Amino acid sequence: MKTENRLLYINGEWVESVGKEVFETNNPANGEIIAKVQRGKEEDIDAAVKAARNAFESNEWQSFPPIDRGRILYKIAEELRKNAEEIAMLETLDTGKPLTQGRKDVEAAALYFEYYAGMADKIFGETIPVQPGILDYTLREPIGVTAHIVPWNYPLQILSRSVSAAIATGNTVVAKPAEDTPLTALKLAELIDKSGLPKGVFNLVTGYGSEAGAALSNHRDVDHITFTGSVQTGSAVMMGAAKNVKPVTLELGGKSPNIVFEDCDQTEAVDWVVRSIVQNAGQTCSAGSRLLIQDSIKQEFLQKVVEKMKAISIGKGVDDPDLGPILNEKQYTRVLEFMEVAENEGAKFLTGGKRERRDGLENGFFFQPTVIDNLNPKSYVAQEEIFAPVVAAFSFETEEQAIELANGTDYGLVTGIWTKDSARAHRVANKIRAGQVFINNYGAGGGVQMPFGGYKKSGFGREKGLEALRNYTILKNVALKY
């Protein structure tokens, strides 16, 4: 495969980084170099933020009709679909995920642009009755320059969901994709470049998180930061924003449970339990990484899960298996360390727990789908996010025990509830401390219309749906005496 050099996108131009340094992005399935990418640093971030600020303050953007913002977002959605196969292949090569999942990511990205295109001219204020002689009303105005720091697991989807909402509400954008998976973000910049969006409204700087990402989260002229990633990095982003008194939206880790009651539809539940942990090789913040099963059906249900996990096909993303590789050696080594800790904690491996070794997969980081039993719910492996196709099983007797187990981590992103008893389903849902609760399904983040975010260390603020528009607007009250 020919290795290409990719540039930064600043103020409507494709430019080299100030230092003219580059880094490589690799295919996780075989280690092959896919492209060389600019190593943007503080000077490049500063140039991008200045371009975004100038664009935001310009007469062109300030007077740009909201309906025309929407039309441009629709156009970007159309271009994503027209180029879907190329972009899906790029996502698969860069992340390692199966091609079918790459295609779904492209469609999801298009749906975000489409959804927020429809909202661009529907950002309403309110009138407030105060007293006779006073007309009081509110305006929702764009917050300004928005920063978007994107993780490596769903680079196109996650960039699209926040950027589309930010532009729909009249903001300007500086985006920093993960250094591991920058290629679809750069492709999106190509499509935006041809969309008719004014120069400087969208800017993209590739680089390392410790350099470009830190510079962006600490920049004084950024008005809002959206970050998706680890708790540790999210805390650092918050500290940078705090110094400049800037708001943040954080979507961080998860240790999400599926709660399986004895009266559930086992066939449906098993299918979704497995899907929720093997999607993107388990490298999903909302992955169903804990499996809580009522005692009376635990062994029967676990056996079905194990059988389905053993049947999962493993291979290179371009061959479209069920399960692709772990992203890189660093992440793979971390997974192995978790497995060692699990063994020391007394875990019983019902299947998996090892590297997948087969001809043709020698140069990739392929890990077997894994089911663990016999862990203490308070143990390290039961509490911390692994980011791999690894699910840990636990049992409960009563509804109250199930709720206690489900809420028994520092995270609170997603929960699945499996039962035919609708009253029980709602009782449990009301007591779960998680941002999304799925009953008899597991959306792993769900559709573009559904607000998504966490409780506790899973972050705060909400992305997706109408709720996300609040991230990118600021409320002004106006009182007129007449």
Mean pLDDT of 282-311: 97
How far is Cα 451 from Cα 198, in angstroms, rounded to an integer? 29
Q: Count CB atoms within 10 A of the CB of residue 64.
A: 17
How far is Cα 226 from Cα 108, in angstroms, rounded to an integer? 19
pLDDT value at 1 more than 50? no
277: confidence class by pLDDT, cuts 50, 70, 90? very high
Mean pLDDT of 433-456: 90
Q: What is the pLDDT of residue 3?
A: 60
- Residue-wise pLDDT for 7-43, tens only, equals 999 999 999 999 999 999 999 999 999 999 999 999 9
Residues sharing a CB contact under 8 Å with residue 313, sequence separation 6 or more, in sequence order: 321, 322, 323
Q: What's the Cα-to-Cα distance from 26 to each of 1, 210, 315, 331, rounded to whole Å?
A: 11, 19, 16, 14
- Give the pair of three-digit tokens for residue 185: 């973000």
pLDDT value at 446 more than 70? no
Q: What's the Cα-to-Cα distance from 257 to each of 32, 51, 115, 159, 295, rounded to whole Å?
A: 36, 43, 29, 26, 16
C-alpha atoms less than 13 angstroms from C-alpha of 311 in its C-beta half-sphere: 10
- Indicate the class that CATH gives domain 257-447: alpha beta
pLDDT value at 153 more than 50? yes
How far is Cα 334 from Cα 386, in angstroms, rounded to an integer? 8
- Give the pair of three-digit tokens for residue 314: 């493993």
How far is Cα 249 from Cα 234, in angstroms, rounded to an integer? 10
For the chain, the straight-line distance linking the first and the last C-alpha, in angstroms and rounded, comes to 70
Hey, which residues are catalytic here?
251
CATH tag, 4-252+459-481: 3.40.605.10
pLDDT value at 429 more than 70? yes
- Largest interatomic CA distance in the chain: 81
Mean pLDDT of 315-321: 97
Q: Which residues pair with 52 in a beta bridge?
A: none
Nearest by Cα to 433 from 451, 459, 417, 454: 454
The percent of residues above 90 in pLDDT, for the chain, comes to 98
Q: At 127, give phi and psi (nearest 5°).
A: -100, 145
The pTM of the full predicted model, rounded to 2 decimals, is: 0.96
- For the ranges 161-175, 263-277, 331-345, 443-457, the lowest mean pLDDT is seen at 443-457
pLDDT value at 138 more than 70? yes
Cα Rg for the chain, rounded, in angstroms?
23
Mean pLDDT of 290-303: 98
HEC secondary structure over the chain? CCCEEECEEECCEEECCCCCCEEEEECCCCCCEEEEEECCCHHHHHHHHHHHHHHHHCHHHHCCCHHHHHHHHHHHHHHHHHCHHHHHHHHHHHHCCCHHHHHHHHHHHHHHHHHHHCCCCCCCCCEECCCCCEEEEEEEEECCEEEEECCCCCHHHHHHHHHHHHHHCCCEEEEECCCCCCHHHHHHHHHHHCCCCCCCCEEECCCCHHHHHHHHHCCCCCCEEEEECCHHHHHHHHHHHHHCCCCEEEECCCCCEEEECCCCCHHHHHHHHHHHHHHHHHCCCCCCCEEEEEHHHHHHHHHHHHHHHHCCCECCHHHCCCECCCCCHHHHHHHHHHHHHHHHCCCEEEECCCECCCCCCCCCCCECCEEEECCCCCCHHHHCCCCCCEEEEEEECCHHHHHHHHCCCCEECEEEEECCCHHHHHHHHHHCCCCEEEECCCCCCCCCCCCECCEECCEECCECCHHHHHHHEEEEEEEEEC
Are 120 and 66 in contact, with CB atoms under 8 Å apart?
yes
Domain layout of the chain by residue ranges: 4-252+459-481, 257-447
pLDDT value at 444 more than 80? no
Q: What is the pLDDT of residue 207?
A: 98
Are 14 and 171 in contact, with CB atoms under 8 Å apart?
no
Are 47 and 80 in contact, with CB atoms under 8 Å apart?
no
- Residue-wise pLDDT for 361-420, tens only, equals 999 999 999 999 999 999 999 999 999 999 999 999 999 999 999 999 999 999 999 999
Mean pLDDT of 122-147: 97
How far is Cα 386 from Cα 255, in angstroms, rounded to an integer? 9
Q: Count CB atoms within 10 A of the CB of residue 207.
A: 28
